[in-house]
Structures are given as C-alpha cells and as structure tokens.
Chain A
Amino acid sequence: MVKKILLLIVCLYMALPGILMAQDNDPQKKYMAFDMRHNGKIYVVVGVILIIFTGIILYLVRLDRKITRLERDKL
C-alpha cells in the first residue's frame, strides 16, 4: 500500500517537466508570472515554505511519540 502510493507520487513528480512546458496562446497570459517562476527566485519561496512545513511536521511527530509513551505508562 505504502509502496504503491510512493510510486504514484514519484510518477507525478516525473510528469513535472511536461506540466511546466505546457504553453497556450491565451490573452490572459500577460498577467501570469510565467518567466518569474523560472527566474524570479520563486524557488527560494518554495524552499522557505518547505522548511517551515518540515519543522511543523517534525514537531507533530515528536508530539505523537510523546503521547504514545504517555499512553503506555497510563494504561
């Protein structure tokens, strides 16, 4: 089960270049930050959010472990 889900996520990541290259001639396009996404340091923002998110998740994992230990002692 876990392996299948991991495989699915890897597949989705491999589809990334195809999704990024997709182009169309839409008049609304001039408002989109298309070039900025590649050159405008947006990856830094993604990195920062990922770091914060990882921190919160690690905290949650530790909390979970602590509660498990507490349950073992009390029951």
Chain B
Amino acid sequence: MRKSWWKIVCVLLLLYTITGGLLFTVPAREILHESIRNLYFHVCMWMVLMVLTTTSVIYSIKYLRSQNLRDDIYAVNFAKMGILFGVLGYTSGALWAKYTWTEFADASQIFTEPKLTGAAIALLIYFAYLVLRGSLTDIDKRARIGAIYNIFAYAMLFPTIWILPRLMESLHPGKGGNPALNFDDLDNRLRIVFYPAVIGWTLLAVWITSLKIRIDLIKEKSLLNG
C-alpha cells in the first residue's frame, strides 16, 4: 500500500464517527430527535461532494493549461466519486426528510422544496458531464471539452445547492445562515463527532478516488506502450 498513514487516520476517524455518532448524547431538538445523528452521515456526503468537485475543477483547469492527459484522468475520477457521494447524500436526505418533514409539511411543500430541486439539478448537470465524455471518442477532444464543461458545471453547483435554496422558502435547515457551522444549530456535543466525521469521509472518498486514478494511469500506460 502506498502512503498508508492517512489511510489509517481515515479508518480510525470513521470508526470513531460510527461509534461516537451512534452512542454519544446529542442535543434534544424538535422534530429531529435522535435523527440529528444523521448530521455525521448525510451532511458529510455533501461536504465530500464539495471537496471532490473542487479538486476536480482544479485539475480541469490544470489540464487546460498543461494539456497533460494525467490531469484529465485526475479531474474525471474526482468528479465521478463526487457524483457518487452526491447521490448517496441525496438518497439519504430523502429518507431523512420522509420521517421529519412529513410531520409538519404537506406534500406540495415537499415536492417544491428548493433544496431538493437544486440538488437534483446540480447532480443532473454532473451526469451530463459523464454523458458528454462518454459520447466523444477522441481522447484529446474528450479531455478538452470535458474540462471546459466541468468548469461550467462547477459554476452551477454553488447557486443550485447553496445559494438558491437559501433565498427561497425552504424546509431544509440553512435559511439565513450556515447550519453546519453556526453556533445555534451545532453545539459542542455535535461538533466533537461532526468535524472528525467530515475529515474521515473525505479521506475515504479520496482513497477510493486514488485507486481509480491509479487503475486509469496503468490503463493509459498499456495503451501507449502497445
């Protein structure tokens, strides 16, 4: 195994997240009750998505500057893993909402929920990135057009999942602030698990991405060598 110390940190942080996340006391909240523990799992998925798509767009810009296919492989794999975690975040969010929002909101409010619509749009834009790449057979053209599209997709990600839902009437926490970071929503009992959890999940995603990148690099090498 290569550079294994941060992988060990990742596993330890996630073991801590699972045990601490399920067993430590949490503040009693209206509607949410024990489900506040989803903070350590559902919210972390979106944090991971942000980290991975940001890394991906950085590599896309690097590709456009260097024209080095290595950067393109990094960019696409970070984006793919980001999408996976986005889908996990979306699905887990749907389950969480089913058992909390339905207690006080009616169906029309839930179906027009801007956070859900925004997240769905963001994910669809990223799906289109994969479709676009899949439809181009020329490696250089695919890398260049993919890199440019990735920058546009990233530019749409912030408005659709962070800005627009906070400007509109939303059931999701976060209107008028940042629910994961401010002092009213997050007290120290949550923080003691939440911050390690974000780091742990991010490291896990980076680990899996690094494996995918290494496989792709081997593939590229054998392609060039015959």
- The reply on A68 being an interface residue by CB < 8 A is yes
Which A10-67 residues have a C-beta within 8 angstroms of B? Answer: 12-13, 15-16, 19-20, 22, 26, 28-29, 31-34, 37, 42-43, 45-46, 49-50, 53, 57, 60-61, 63-65, 67
Please list the residues of chain A having a beta carbon within 8 angstroms of any beta carbon in chain B.
1-2, 5-6, 9, 12-13, 15-16, 19-20, 22, 26, 28-29, 31-34, 37, 42-43, 45-46, 49-50, 53, 57, 60-61, 63-65, 67-68, 70-71, 74-75
Does more than half of chain B's interface fall in helix, strand or loop, or is it mixed?
helix
The answer on a CB contact under 8 Å between B19 and A71 is no
- The reply on B8 being an interface residue by CB < 8 A is yes
- Determine the distance from Cα of A75 to Cα of B27 in the docked complex, in whole angstroms: 54
Q: Cβ of B29: which chain A residues have Cβ within 8 Å of it?
A: 28
Q: Would you mind naming 11 contact pairs between A and B with Cβ atoms under 8 Å apart?
A: A28-B28, A37-B23, A42-B22, A42-B23, A43-B23, A46-B18, A50-B18, A53-B14, A60-B208, A64-B207, A68-B1
Q: Cβ of A5: which chain B residues have Cβ within 8 Å of it?
A: 9, 12
Q: Nearest-CB distance from A28 to chain B (Å)? A: 3
Which bucket holds chain B's interface residue count?
35 or more
Q: Cβ of B163: which chain A residues have Cβ within 8 Å of it?
A: none
The answer on a CB contact under 8 Å between A19 and B24 is yes
Residue of B nearest to A63 (CB): B211
Residue of B nearest to A20 (CB): B25
- The reply on B30 being an interface residue by CB < 8 A is yes
Q: Name B207's contact: one of A22, A26, A60, A70 (CB within 8 Å).
A: A60
Q: Cβ of B207: which chain A residues have Cβ within 8 Å of it?
A: 60, 64
Q: Name B192's contact: one of A12, A68, A70, A71 (CB within 8 Å).
A: A12
